[in-house]
Amino acid sequence: GLFNRTAKMKFNKLKTSSRRKNRKAYFNAPSHIRRKLMGAPLSKELRQRYNVRSMPVRKDDEVQVVRGHFKGQQVGKVIQVYRKKFIIHVERIQREKANGANIHVGIHPSNVVIMKLKLDKDRKRILEHRAKSRKTDLEKGKHTEEIIQAMET
């Protein structure tokens, strides 16, 4: 824009920084992109085991709500991933309507932590792929003692 207060470097000139356009892209996103937008962090144990920080939520995952009105210690299974509304429905997280019927309360995936993954071959592939890219990133930044000594000689 005209009045840039912060001189921040932009990495990809093809990606817009406009709030208006980013909101439009988010709310008009097709289902396969909404899947990526609806990711949730993994629990500490899963993060240790798979070396992956977050995953898109899936129907039979077990999650724990960590933010908002329904946060608590019990773990519930994801019943439905409602991509159109950007929410997930978790078992036992429901409220009573005025007429006495129980309905599930929608929760945004960023407010939950995945405690247990429903694994199939595709999901395992994603985990391996993400762990691999994470590993190369870690190795890229660090210079070990041997490399430095080799450089000096």
Residue range 43-60: average pLDDT?
Answer: 93
Contact by Cβ (8 Å): 8, 17 = no
Using CA atoms, how far apart are residues 31 and 38, in angstroms rounded to an integer? 10
Does position 37 have pLDDT exceeding 90, yes or no?
A: yes
* Amino acid letter, residue 70: F
Q: Report which DSSP code applies to 68.
A: S
DSSP single-letter state for residue 39: E
pTM, 2 dp: 0.77
Helices within the chain (DSSP H only):
19-27, 31-37, 44-50, 121-141, 145-152
- What is the average pLDDT score of the chain? 88
Predicted pLDDT of residue 31: 95
What are the tens digits of pLDDT across the range 9-27? 889 999 999 999 999 999 9
pLDDT of residue 40 exceeding 80: yes
What Å distances lie between residue 132 and 53, 93, 124, CA to CA? 12, 35, 12
Q: pLDDT-derived band of residue 1, with 50, 70 and 90 as boundaries?
A: low
